[in-house]
Chain A
Amino acid sequence: MAFVTTAPVLAANDDIKATNFLLDNGMEVVVIPDNRAPIVTHMVWYKIGSADEPPGKSGIAHFVEHLMFKAATINHAAGECDRAVAEIGGSHNAFTSQDYTAFYETVAPPALEQMMSFEADRMFNLSITDDDIKTERDVIIEERRSRIDNDPQAVLGEAVDATLWQNQPYRIPVIGWMQEMEKLDWSDARAFYDKYYTPNNAVLVVAGDVAPETVKALAEKTYGTVPAAPGLTRIRPVEPGQNTKRTVTLTDARVSVPNFSTHWVVPSYRTAERGEAEALDLLAEILGGGTRSRLYQQLVVKQGIAAEAGAHFEGTMLDASYFSIHGSPRGDAKLADIEAAVDAEIARIARDGVTSDELDKAKDRYVRSVIFAHEQQDSIASMYGSTLATGGNLKDVEERPDRIRKVTADQVKAVAARYLVSDHSTTGYLLPLLPNTEN
């Protein structure tokens, strides 16, 4: 079947064109009009994450995020914001990653001012008691047990990150190491909060049924009153050249089917030369992006040796990022068979490149996923927020589909050959604890 261009579809994106401006205190504001329904998504993104934590204080970025929710401020009692959001049937939450921390509320437009007022207040006026610290520290410790310690795959994942990254702080888990989390206190949290929770270190993204002028007026009235602090430079240890092949193995009684994943250090959209990150996105799609990918077709369909296989490129990072592949055997196949077959597919792309047909289809899928993302206000707001919090700008988001379209087959081949080198990789194995299982 002939390939159909999506140009008319892309044109529809002009209806949802973002605008941006700066408040006097340096806070950047992005407004994405979306008038399909009277709902507005309000997100504050701080350019601060776990990779910015001081040594020995792992988990402090995530802990401060929790305290922002837990605590009272000078103007509001604890729980007042939760009740205000619940009262209008809104929803709110927050999340922390290596490079950013974001807080969001989804409400009807008349409640936008109240939400901005709550967020502006807790940006500057947080007020913590010893009880808050103690109980919320217990909560994040339980969260660590739930997310990581309860799950062998997650335990291995932590060890793989700590091995893949030798110097860069991406080696430290976002939630923190248990023994450091147990000691986090208010002075740690206060120092982190005072330094990083400032308007000139934040990006406000408002998507929804509200005019940019209205957002501007409200933002000046609320966030505009928060004083700026000295500007921040994010200083991150830089990763040395990768020159070894490393493996990490976890054997666990809860595992009965083994799996493996291999990771390589690669550039992110911020650190890559023009076109390289786009090529890595398409390489991930072609190699292991779904049932049409080479890994799925070769290992799962044709050879029938894998239960599943795939690839992933994480593009939205402040510093260097990673590309990963993973697989799991089916039936009598051995983990080593899967690994060898994956290596063969990578070698084939690095040697022979990709066909123009599979490149066009991968581009088509990428652009389609952007169109489908527009269907959800929070997806589109997150696309802008995460890009801006990791050093990108509005153009980077809006021109992404066009830049993806421009990638050539040679560029995809080049990034595969340059980065997916088995001598410079980190592989994690998850194995069953059984004497009679060979792998």
Chain B
Amino acid sequence: MNQHRAAFAQALPFPLSAAQGSVARFATPLVIVILAILFLILPALRAHAAMNIQEVKSEKGITAWLVEDHTLPIVTMDLVFDGGTTQDPAGKEGLANLMTGLLDEGAGDLDSETFQVQLDDAGAEMSFDAQRDGIHGSMRLLSERQNAAFDLVRLAVNRPRFDKEPVERIRAQLLSEIIANEREPHVIAELAWLRRLYGTHPYSRPPEGTKQSLAHITPADLSAFHKTAFGRDGLHVAVVGDIDAKALSARLDQLFGDLPQKQALAPVSDVTPKLGGWTLVKSALPQTSLPQTSLQLAFPGIGRSDPEFYAAQLINNILGGSPFTSRLFQEVREKRGLAYGVSSSLEGYQHSNTLVVTTSTRADRAAETLDLIRQVIKELVDTGPTSAELEASKKYLIGAYAINNLGSSSSISATLVELQLDNLGTDYIQRRPALIEQVTLDQVRAAAKKLLSAEPAIMVVGPPLGGKG
């Protein structure tokens, strides 16, 4: 883990696409794009391009979504177990994250070294990631060596070993990262921001834990966590590539058939983020002033299953979601050159939702930038978008889906597993354009009022606004 290929970025991409906050500053030169599917805005293409999503059910009752594509000798698979970092016990924050870092570090009869050598020989890539609401796994493998590759996935998911050496090594790497970030203002700010919005709710926890909590995690904790989190009733699977339904069905039982039927998750309550008020984070040491001030504003969000979700998506797109044409981009960057990037996004989680606006600007114009952002938002609430803006936004949201979400085998499988998490059916991609089309101007204006009238939580990273630092 944490392999840095190059120490320094070489190519400079033009604007940050809808990148969020400071973590995305070094966006890769090319946004992930292309390969598949279904362009519903262009009816002539439908016959040629309809993506066929099959729901595959195994003998033991495990289901997965499958898109067959035999063009390349590759299979990609994405899986999610419900739960995630919200399941870390108090005092053992970082447990889910540490466990996921150890799944490819020895399993079954294979120690870490042997497991990794075999994974390499099998021509496969495997990675796991603990997120707030789930543990995500992602694999890419060469179909001609799939027997060996799938067998290693089976071992990793069912029988991780948590041997002493890899546990200590990965723990030390995570500790090193935590220490490395201790004085980084943007990392400090992110933690302060989470505490401000979520108080003591599990969403306020740092996913990687703290120095103290990491030190307290034992191999027994890791095994116990694995047992409670990896159950078949909380499993979601999507597969794309060079494999058919029959073969996948058998694979599903091989991979997951021996897992416990049920997860044993701790309940997590819904939380309304605490908005209003300011969070100010200055530089780590007083003698170092930051060259830029970062601004972040949080407004109320909207649940994925809310009937007004599409109206909210459209208003977000008009405000700051669309990479070049949004109002914020036009006003803050194009007309005034105040920032390199400015964007808004709907951040939806299982237990809370927000709409977040972010930008970074020169310290002496940060107050002006914040005022401008608030003025753009107020205008949108007061007068609403124009019907031309709404139409353009609908076209963008409908057309961009295929390019942003279905552009390669790996992004298709990641998208399909997200659709399952959102309880959307296999026909969702066909239904989606109509759901967006039918939103009216009145509904979008109502959504603007509902989300953007509230007094936001505001965070400033840098010197206090208006001062010279």
Residues of A within 8 A of B (CB): 1, 3-4, 6, 8-9, 12, 15, 34, 36-39, 41, 62, 65-66, 69-70, 79, 82-83, 85-91, 93-98, 104, 106-108, 110, 134-143, 145-147, 149-151, 153-154, 157, 160-161, 174-175, 207-208, 252-257, 261, 290-292, 296, 300-301, 304, 307-308, 310, 312, 314, 324, 326, 328-331, 361, 364-365, 368, 371-372, 374-379, 382, 432-433
Contact = CB atoms under 8 A, between A and B. Distances in A.
Given A89-B396, A89-B397, A142-B361, A98 B10 contact: yes
A157 B396 contact: no
Contacts of B41: 88-89, 108
Given A86-B325, A138-B337, A142-B292, A39 B402 contact: yes
Interface string B317-330: 00000111100000
A142 B408 contact: no
B339 A142 contact: yes
**Size category of the binding interface on chain B:** 35 or more
B244 interface: no
Nearest to A68: B14
Given A145-B362, A308-B4, A375 B35 contact: yes
A310 B5 contact: yes
Interface of B: 1-15, 17, 22, 25-26, 29-39, 41-42, 44-45, 48-49, 69, 71-74, 76, 113, 116-118, 120-121, 123, 125, 140, 142, 144-145, 148, 165, 168-169, 172-173, 175-177, 179-185, 283-285, 287-288, 290-292, 322-325, 333-341, 360-362, 392, 395-404, 406-410
Contact of A36 (B35, B168, B334, B339): B35
Contacts of A98: 10
B15 to A, nearest CB: 7
A256 B36 CA distance: 44
29 contacts: A8-B73, A9-B73, A9-B142, A39-B39, A89-B41, A89-B402, A108-B45, A135-B335, A135-B336, A141-B362, A146-B25, A147-B26, A149-B292, A151-B25, A153-B7, A154-B9, A253-B183, A253-B285, A256-B179, A257-B176, A257-B180, A290-B3, A292-B116, A292-B120, A300-B169, A307-B173, A314-B10, A330-B173, A433-B288
A85 to B, nearest CB: 8
Contact of B360 (A137, A142, A326): A142
B49 A38 contact: yes
B112 to A, nearest CB: 8
A256 B183 contact: yes
A374 B408 CA distance: 9
B172 A307 contact: yes
A314 B407 CA distance: 27
B167 to A, nearest CB: 12
B25 A147 contact: yes
A291 B409 CA distance: 25
